[in-house]
């Protein structure tokens, strides 16, 4: 072995390179076939193959400079806490729209805990524009490298090592939010919240740590690794200021104020990647699908079926045949009720729902029950809004044929122990439908780990378009079930005497579907997948804890739904005020919340109210927005 020029008995760089090449070639999947040719380059500086991101839509990355990395959207700077300065959302000096904001927060810490040099803490300041372009341009994405060099199969070999539940990945906002939460006073009613409180000793319950929510904690599935699992370990830092730039509507003025969108449980706002993708479809791909022998039909079919594939991966379904495009969660539940339910349930059979259900998961079963003399039983909840599992077990019996329940309550925010409910239903021989309308945008979902027979969600609640949604169903079950609607697209052969149906998904997609919006939903799924669902869950959890602690300080407030395991939703009533008046007062400040019964009257009545005010959070919300909400409520009370 020759030595290097310093003659210090160390191998020369050329020899090291040759040795490394041998090592990499011997590694799993060849790892790297060759070291990068430039001397001194490390693997993290290899330019990514951006085609791996599978974007058929154009990316309009603006050329402006992104701000240096910060967290929490301007509301949670510890420096602001220490100085007693609330960040004023409407103040251009401190608003989250101000690109200089983060440089005004010198105490913001870099991300901690990343061993990869790729992350290194702050986002590189030279990055252009929005999050999408960041993800595409950066040469610091181990995601790409991992996929390039290991391939998905190798990644799936040990999912327990890959999948990190939320909060296991240190992010900027971890440290920042924890500090801020510690400084919220729980004993200073009327205060503006974070900026003048004494530290609290209340432990924050991180529910992600003890419930996998249907995620494969250790179960290996070599064929189909969970997408959420992959992104869970390798997503780049989560920066709400950069993310917000992707949502044009968040710059909208309402009543002279910047919009604060806290009505995410009703519908979510759309990133420009989704808006652009739909526009691109109509400009370059629009055609009916599956049937024509021309170029645009091929493009449209590819785009539509590509979106189906994205949904399959997003849910970790076993096959694309298990993904049926429908109008939304409501239509999906009606489809199951009016096909499988009608064909399989008989007089005296029982359906169990929970007290938390949205009307969409009550009315179709009631209609079916009336038609077929079925009985509906209801799982009760405790005073915090948690389902009572012991009571549920008592309801299960030989007549139970279906359990249909929500994974997250839209009125209270309760996260139900979904995997447990499914398992118990299966032990009783019942089928299970899980309503994921309020869960898919807030936490990773894995339908195979959950083992639901059906799972439904709406595109518009997961940053996609309205008018498109998904029914997941186990393939054998879908193919055993006769279609509920007949028409074109769903048939193999038709004579006047007889029709032969396609297998799923075709048999449940009669007529021309919502092609463009399915493609838009695919873009939305790409978007949240790149952010990383575990990180989204983690960030939102902090926001929820933050908001809950501040809301508790508002005089005369009663929080409806206080389960330790919650997502996104903060329902409340305010003593002396009608809920619509509170909604109107918030609207004056540009804050959009829902006030009303939220299409969940039974659960509100369980708590003795007919309506609540319901702010609901998404990953683009900030602590500054929550401060504005809470301060407006304080001033109402004054």
Residue 436's closest CA among 461, 411, 412?
461
Pick the closer one to ligand PMP by CB: 241 or 458.
458
Query: What residues numbered 139-198 form the site for ligand PMP, per CB under 6 A?
Result: none
Q: Which stretch binds ligand PMP (CB under 6 A): 104-112, 160-168, 322-330, 470-478?
A: 322-330
Please identify which residue in the block is written with the tokens 């039974």.
Answer: 602
Query: For ligand PMP, what does the binding mask look like between residues 440 and 459, x meaning CB under 6 A?
Result: ------------------x-
> Using CB under 6 A, which of 438, 529, 549, 612 touches ligand PMP?
438
Pick the closer one to ligand PMP by CB: 138 or 330.
330
Q: Cis (ω within 30 of 0) for the bond into 505?
A: yes
Binding-site size for ligand PMP (CB under 6 A) equals 13
Pick the closer one to ligand PMP by CB: 11 or 602.
602
Q: How far is the CB of 576 from ligand PMP (least distance, A)?
A: 28
Residue 297 tokens read as: 């039909």
Pick the closer one to ligand PMP by CB: 335 or 533.
335
Contact indicator for 353, 263 with CB cutoff of 8 Å: no
If binding is defined by CB under 6 A, does position 410 make contact with ligand PMP? yes
Q: How far is the CB of 441 from ligand PMP (least distance, A)?
A: 11
Burial 320-347 (b: 16+ CB within 10 A, else e): bbbbbbbbbbbbbbbbbbbbbbbeebee
Query: For ligand PMP, what does the binding mask look like between residues 553 and 592, x meaning CB under 6 A?
Result: ----------------------------------------
Q: Which stretch binds ligand PMP (CB under 6 A): 41-49, 218-226, 326-334, 369-377?
A: 326-334
Angle between helices 515-531 and 533-551 (to 10 degrees): 80
Pick the closer one to ligand PMP by CB: 323 or 437.
437
Q: How far apart are CA 628 and CA 90, in angstroms?
A: 9
Query: For ligand PMP, what does the binding mask look like between residues 345 and 364, x meaning CB under 6 A?
Result: -------------x-xx---
Of 146, 477, 599, 636, which one is the catalytic site residue? 599
Please identify which residue in the block is written with the tokens 């994974």.
Answer: 407
* DSSP-assigned letter for residue 106: T
Residue 633's closest CA among 262, 81, 183?
262
Beta pairing class for 571-574 and 557-560: antiparallel
Pick the closer one to ligand PMP by CB: 246 or 435.
435
Residue 452 CB partners (closer than 8 Å, separation 6+): 214, 418, 422, 432, 433, 434, 472
Please identify which residue in the block is written with the tokens 């007290």.
Answer: 355
Please identify which residue in the block is written with the tokens 């929490």.
Answer: 72
Pick the closer one to ligand PMP by CB: 124 or 602.
602
> Using CB under 6 A, which of 70, 241, 330, 386 touches ligand PMP?
330
> Using CB under 6 A, which of 271, 328, 534, 615 touches ligand PMP?
328
If binding is defined by CB under 6 A, does position 435 make contact with ligand PMP? yes
If binding is defined by CB under 6 A, does position 329 make contact with ligand PMP? yes
If binding is defined by CB under 6 A, does position 434 make contact with ligand PMP? no
If binding is defined by CB under 6 A, does position 437 make contact with ligand PMP? yes
Q: Any alpha helices (H) in 532-622, and if so which ranges?
A: 533-551, 579-588, 601-606
Q: How far is the CB of 335 from ligand PMP (least distance, A)?
A: 12
Residue 599 annotated in active site = yes
Contact indicator for 544, 566 with CB cutoff of 8 Å: yes
> Using CB under 6 A, which of 156, 171, 273, 406 touches ligand PMP?
406
The DSSP H or E segment spanning 399 is none
Pick the closer one to ligand PMP by CB: 406 or 538.
406
Q: How far is the CB of 477 from ligand PMP (least distance, A)?
A: 21
CB atoms within 10 A of CB 50: 14
Largest Cα span, the chain:
91
Residue 364 CB partners (closer than 8 Å, separation 6+): 333, 334, 337, 338, 341
Q: Enumerate binding residues for ligand PMP (CB under 6 A).
A: 328-330, 358, 360-361, 406, 410, 435, 437-438, 458, 599
Active site residues: 599
């Amino acid at each position: 072995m020759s030595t290097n020029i310093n003659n210090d008995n160390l191998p020369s760089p050329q020899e090291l390179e040759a040795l490394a090449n041998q090592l990499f070639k011997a590694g799993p999947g060849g790892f790297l076939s060759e070291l990068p040719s430039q001397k001194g380059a490390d693997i993290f500086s290899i330019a990514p193959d951006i085609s791996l991101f599978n974007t058929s839509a154009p990316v309009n990355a603006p050329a402006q400079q992104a701000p240096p990395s910060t967290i929490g959207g301007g509301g949670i700077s510890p420096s602001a806490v220490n100085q007693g300065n609330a960040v004023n959302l409407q103040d251009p000096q401190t608003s989250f729209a101000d690109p200089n904001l983060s440089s005004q927060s010198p105490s913001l810490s870099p991300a901690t805990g990343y061993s990869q040099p790729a992350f290194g803490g702050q986002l590189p300041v030279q990055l252009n524009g929005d999050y999408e372009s960041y993800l595409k341009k950066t040469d610091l994405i181990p995601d790409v490298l991992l996929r390039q060099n290991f391939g998905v199969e190798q990644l799936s070999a040990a999912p327990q090592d890959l999948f990190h539940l939320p909060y296991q990945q240190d992010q900027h906002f971890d440290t920042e939010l924890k500090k801020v939460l510690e400084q919220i006073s729980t004993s200073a009613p009327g205060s503006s919240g974070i900026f003048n409180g004494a530290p609290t000793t209340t432990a924050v319950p991180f529910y992600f740590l003890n419930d996998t929510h249907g995620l494969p904690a250790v179960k290996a599935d070599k064929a189909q690794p969970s997408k959420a699992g992959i992104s869970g370990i390798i997503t780049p830092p989560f920066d709400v200021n950069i993310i917000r730039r992707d949502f044009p509507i968040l710059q909208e003025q309402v009543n002279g104020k910047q919009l604060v969108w806290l009505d995410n449980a009703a519908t979510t706002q759309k990133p420009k990647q989704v808006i652009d993708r739909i526009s691109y479809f109509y400009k370059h791909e629009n055609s009916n699908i599956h049937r024509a022998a021309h170029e645009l039909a091929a493009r449209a079919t590819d785009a539509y079926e590509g979106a189906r594939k994205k949904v399959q991966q997003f849910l970790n379904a076993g096959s694309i045949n298990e993904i049926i495009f429908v109008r939304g969660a409501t239509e999906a539940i009606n489809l199951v009720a009016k096909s499988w339910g009608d064909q399989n349930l008989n007089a005296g059979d029982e359906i169990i729902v929970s007290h938390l259900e949205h009307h969409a998961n009550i009315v179709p079963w009631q209609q079916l029950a009336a038609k077929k003399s079925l009985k509906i039983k209801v799982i009760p909840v405790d005073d915090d809004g948690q389902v009572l599992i012991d009571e549920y077990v008592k309801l299960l019996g030989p007549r139970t044929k279906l359990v249909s329940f929500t994974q997250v309550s839209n009125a209270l925010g309760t996260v139900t122990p979904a995997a447990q409910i499914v398992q118990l239903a299966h032990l009783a021989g019942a089928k299970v439908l899980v309503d994921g309308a309020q869960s898919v945008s807030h936490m990773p979902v894995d339908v195979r780990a959950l083992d639901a027979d059906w799972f439904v969600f709406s595109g518009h609640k997961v940053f996609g378009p309205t008018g498109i949604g998904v029914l997941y169903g186990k393939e054998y079950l879908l193919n055993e079930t006769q279609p509920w609607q007949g028409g074109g697209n769903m048939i193999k052969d038709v004579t006047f005497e007889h029709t032969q149906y396609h297998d799923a998904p075709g048999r449940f997609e009669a007529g021309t579907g919502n092609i463009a919006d399915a493609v838009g939903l695919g873009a939305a799924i790409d978007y949240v997948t790149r952010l990383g669902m575990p990180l989204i869950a983690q960030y939102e959890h902090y926001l929820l804890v933050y908001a809950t602690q501040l809301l508790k300080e508002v005089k005369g407030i009663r929080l409806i739904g206080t389960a330790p395991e919650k997502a996104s939703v903060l329902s409340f009533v305010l003593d002396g005020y009608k809920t619509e008046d509170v909604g109107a007062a918030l609207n004056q400040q540009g804050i959009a919340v829902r006030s009303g019964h939220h299409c969940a009257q039974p659960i509100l009545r369980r708590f003795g109210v007919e309506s609540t005010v319901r702010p609901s959070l998404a990953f683009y919300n900030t602590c500054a927005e929550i401060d504005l909400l809470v301060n407006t409520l304080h001033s109402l009370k004054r």
